């Protein structure tokens, strides 16, 4: 609100200055110099007076606009960044052996500023798929629903300065056997979930390109593009799965 007043007062000052400039004669602005010899004491007094005026003017500016000045230097600074364990596995024990039932890829959002980022949300803005050995890019519609933050049942959080929050971007589910209404057993291939968008198993072998958008009430919108290359194969452990799956920030 104060910034609006500053703009209005500045415009008024410019208008008034322009009017006076048109009214006053040109001779008014002609400076006449007089050669006067100053003593050292007089020169020091003038310098001190100039410095005092500058200090007084600066004190007035700070008193009037200290909140605006403080807000200019006190703000959040958000950025996307990878974490130590980008993709991890959820395992179950099958016949005494650990096997993955889901792989999750996540990313961090860090606040490098000096104040909290308020009401932070992440959306899947854009999603495209390109099949292997093809140049045809197929776009997908996105729901516009914000993602849940990792470990929380909420889509909106505050991020304190120096803190990092995690959000799950991608989930890949293991193949499974389902039953039809006729009690017929059907094999269901592994499928990928990007953001909130669940895709068909036919779109598994290729390259996914997605853009995630971060929103906050006190931070400008930022975008992060990712690329996922998956050969459509399922592996029961992460060490093997990483040979057929690649995640990259763009």
Report the number of secondary-structure helices (H) and strands (E) in the chain: 3, 14
Q: What is the pTM of this model?
A: 0.68
Q: Which ranges in the chain belong to alpha helices (H)?
A: 2-23, 40-73, 238-241
**Dihedral angle of Cα 92, 98, 100, 106, to the nearest 10 degrees:** 90
Q: Which residues pair with 140 in a beta bridge?
A: 127
Q: State the average pLDDT for the chain.
A: 81
CA atoms of 23 and 115, how far apart (whole Å): 50
78-249 homologous superfamily:
Immunoglobulins (2.60.40.10)
Q: Are 130 and 137 in contact (CB under 8 A)?
A: yes
CA atoms of 228 and 245, how far apart (whole Å): 7
CA atoms of 112 and 160, how far apart (whole Å): 9
Helix (H, G, I), strand (E, B) or coil at 20: helix
Domain boundaries, the chain: 2-73, 78-249
55-114 confidence digits (pLDDT tens): 887 777 777 776 666 666 778 999 999 888 889 888 888 888 888 889 999 999 999 988
108-167 confidence digits (pLDDT tens): 999 998 899 999 999 999 999 988 777 888 888 888 889 999 877 889 999 999 999 999
Q: Is 1 exposed, middle or buried (0-12, 13-18, 19+ CB in 10 A)?
A: exposed
How crowded is residue 65: how many other Cβ atoms within 10 Å of its Cβ?
16
Radius of gyration of the chain (CA): 32
Span of 15-24, 47-56, 70-79, 224-233 with lowest mean pLDDT: 15-24
């Amino acid at each position: 609100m104060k910034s609006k007043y500053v703009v209005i007062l500045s415009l008024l000052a410019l208008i008034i200055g322009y009017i006076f400039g048109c009214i006053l004669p040109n001779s008014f602005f002609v400076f006449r110099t007089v050669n006067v010899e100053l003593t050292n004491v007089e020169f020091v007094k003038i310098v001190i007076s100039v410095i005092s005026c500058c200090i007084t003017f600066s004190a007035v500016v700070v008193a009037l606009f200290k909140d605006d000045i403080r807000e200019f230097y006190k703000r959040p600074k958000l950025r996307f960044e990878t974490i130590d364990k980008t993709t991890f596995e959820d395992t179950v024990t099958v016949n005494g052996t650990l096997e993955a039932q889901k792989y999750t890829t996540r990313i961090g959002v860090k606040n490098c500023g000096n104040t909290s980022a308020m009401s932070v949300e992440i959306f899947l803005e854009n999603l495209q798929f390109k099949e292997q050995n093809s140049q045809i890019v197929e776009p997908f519609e996105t729901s516009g629903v914000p993602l849940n933050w990792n470990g929380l049942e909420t889509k909106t959080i505050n991020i304190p300065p120096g803190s990092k929050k995690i959000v799950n971007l991608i989930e890949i589910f293991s193949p499974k056997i389902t039953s039809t209404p006729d009690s017929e057993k059907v094999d269901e291939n592994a499928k990928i979930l990007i953001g909130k968008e669940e895709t068909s198993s036919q779109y598994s072998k290729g390259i996914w390109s997605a853009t995630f958008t971060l929103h906050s009430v006190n931070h400008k919108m930022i975008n992060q593009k990712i690329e996922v290359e998956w050969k459509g194969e399922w592996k029961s452990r992460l060490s093997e799965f990483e040979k057929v799956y690649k995640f990259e920030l763009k």
